[in-house]
Amino acid sequence: MTVRPVFDANATNGSKDLGNLPEWDLTDLYSAPDAPEIKRDLDWLEQACASFAADYEGKLATLDAAGFLDCVLRNEKIDTTAGRLMSYAGLRYYQLTTDAERAKFLSDLQEKVVNYSTPLVFFTLELNRLDDGHLDTLFAENDDLARYKPVFDRIRSMKPFQLSDELEKFLHDLGVVGDAWERLFDETIASLEFEIEGDALNIESTLNLLTEQDRSKREAASRELARVFSENIKIFARVHNTQAKEKEILDRWRGMPTPQTGRHLSNHVEPEVVEALRNAVVAAYPRLSHRYYELKRKWLGLDVMQVWDRNAPLPMEETRTVGWDDARDTVMNAYAGFDPRMAEIAQPFFDKGWIDAGVNPGKAPGAFAHPTVTDVHPYVMLNYLGKPRDVMTLAHELGHGVHQVLAAGQGEMLSSTPLTLAETASVFGEMLTFRRMLDNAKTDQERKILLAGKVEDMINTVVRQIAFYDFECKLHEARRSGELTPDDINALWMSVQAESLGEGFEFMEGYETFWAYIPHFVHSPFYVYAYAFGDGLVNALYAVYEENPDGFQEKYFDMLKAGGSKHHKELLEPFGLDASDPAFWDKGLSMIEGFIDELEAMEG
């Protein structure tokens, strides 16, 4: 394929319309890839890992409470240093994934960190051989050590699936091979080139066209996505086959009962809770997505919807570009309206180079908030194109950032939040921003456009992600019986798409390949249900806030500050909520239904 420059989407849309988009300043991590501090930290890490193993391997059972606390604190410092190094290398790489030097820097650093940390594999293995009673005694003797009990509980949940020390070290070393497949996926996606009306666009800019008012542009983008995905489908099928097979081998050796078990354990959530969520959403497809898309079909004046109409703006919706300053003010005012402290925590993201917002050639697509390490601060990545939905993405990722700042007080080992709860603050940030915009709507038409946009976002977050989850379940199950051809994977994809979108859609030739670009399938198998979990949780939380706002903010901040130190049952108890109750999910889904009811009433 001829290599041509991939145009920044802003070059055609006019970046002047967006204002001054911020870029990351990574110097809070390291000043440069050749900074002496990187060598200093790598040297320290190598020595610290070796001395940790020398001091503690084979001796955990002999430690008293004070000795065990010292051991944990040393382990935490090692985590922090390794995390700082990998955060810097990873963030630089995501800014320009097509740059060979950045890719090499990340890969070399990753190999060193893995090699240095291999001697630490004994820690979790030995910890899991300790008797429950022995640990309980140590916790009772030392409150500072007892604070880490939730970490030990999560580690010990893997106890039934633990292999021999030698095999665990082997698998630890082998981890870089699986990571290489992830990088192949990232680099392939970032280098894809799509030609629309003579312009060469990257994937982010092309996907952005699916929300254009002009239907012919949406169709052109969809067909071009299908063409390019089809041309590269063998690579994507190879990546998915390899990753799924690697997972199947690991799960089989560990004795994991299902491919999803590992994710549920790391999320600290019971399989039956996830199953209740999944079943509630699938049962609600007719009341949610099917009903909404039937409304949308009428608004668009179509006999049947095509896939390029799914995220189309409404006919009465003006195509408008939201400048960066307006986006920032909208989100910050919404945050401040909830609680001034929330805006204060968010402010440095804009002022200090903690956000990278522009769409640039070679930059990773999508958006994320990366917590880095607890003694630095999070960084947010966006691909900001000035769409109203991009404002919601800013509200979402900034919510993650606020959560990560608040949870940092727990320290490195306790700050990390399970994925199911990690989406709470982000989706809540979106809800605050949406509600503020809805309250400020000046006409019924403006209100209708806002409500429809929110319903679509919720359907994308809940219905679409549960359909993704079902696709992954089918993919991993099918891979156990042998290699999957691209056609096999395509068929699995279509089986969940038709069910979730409803009969109002026709699927163009080529849409069956659209599984290929979803990064979560490769980077974090079964991650996707966390979005639906987070949306349902936030809808229930917001209902509590509306019913009884007094004192809600304090309880909300306490929940975010807890990080990963509490189980979801403990975190939700102060709000009178329980995610293990099947009715809990219906409460969250009923909010989406209520919005659709209002939209239907507007038609009358």
Least Cα distance to 199 among 472, 489, 4, 463 occurs for 4
Among 312-326, 381-395, 399-413, the range with the most confident prediction by mean pLDDT is 399-413
Q: Which residue has the higher pLDDT, 286 or 174?
A: 286
283: left (phi over 0), alpha (psi -120 to 50) or beta: alpha
CB 322 within 8 A of CB 387: yes
pLDDT per residue as tens digits for the range 73-90: 999 999 999 999 999 999
pLDDT of residue 10: 28
pLDDT of residue 580: 82
pLDDT per residue as tens digits for the range 262-300: 999 888 889 999 999 999 999 999 999 999 999 999 999
The pLDDT-based confidence of 11 (bands split at 50, 70, 90) is: very low
Average pLDDT across the chain, whole number: 91
φ, ψ for residue 358, nearest 5 deg: -70, 155
**DSSP conformation class of 495:** H
Rounded to an integer, the average pLDDT of 492-520 is 94
Rg (CA), the chain: 24
Amino acid 376 reads V
pLDDT at 383 over 90: yes
pLDDT of residue 2: 27
Pairing outcome for strands 379-381 and 355-356: parallel
Rounded to an integer, the average pLDDT of 359-363 is 90
pLDDT at 37 over 70: yes
pLDDT at 169 over 60: yes
The Cα–Cα gap between 460 and 449 comes to: 16
pTM: 0.81
Q: Which residue has the higher pLDDT, 493 or 579?
A: 493
pLDDT at 223 over 60: yes
What CATH fold (topology level) applies to the domain 32-178? Butyryl-CoA Dehydrogenase, subunit A; domain 3 (1.20.140)
